[in-house]
Amino acid sequence: MPCLCKRMFTFGEGVSGRGITVRFLANENFPAVAVDMLRSAGHDVAWVRTDAPGSTDRQVLARAISEDRVLLTFDKDFGELAFHQGISASSGIILFRIPLTSPTAIASTIVMTISSRTDWNGHYSVVEQTRVRMITLPNDDQQL
């Protein structure tokens, strides 16, 4: 059974990330400038828009798991797939629910948030303007 406890953090409470590598898969809807800024900051980011455009949500989740990458998205459907349809998403999902201002401002917020912690794997995380909510995802051995 998945942990139903929610861990909430405000920005800046995360860990430094030194020595820990988290690999990411940016969904097709993810802004190019954010992908570029994450890569420039040293993050390993694959991008569906350039690698596999037109992939279904299920295909994107399957890729994230097979490559052990945390999915970065603005699409709420991935939570539905993981929690209500039981599709495995054990590598992690980060849903961004932040105001859509300029692409550069969005990218800066994303890079700051991603860089602030290293415990993204195995969680469904919702990033809001002033906090991050995290729920442990069921792994492949758990039933919903």
Structurally, the chain folds into a number of domains equal to: 1
The rounded mean pLDDT for the chain is 83
Pairing of β 132-136 and β 123-127: antiparallel
Say which CATH number the domain at 68 has: 3.40.1360
pTM of the predicted structure, to 2 decimals: 0.81
* 73, 51 contact by CB (below 8 A): no
For residue 103, what are the domain limits? 7-136
Over the stretch 114-132, which tens digit does the pLDDT of each residue have? 999 989 999 999 999 899 9
- Enter the tokens of residue 129: 């303007």
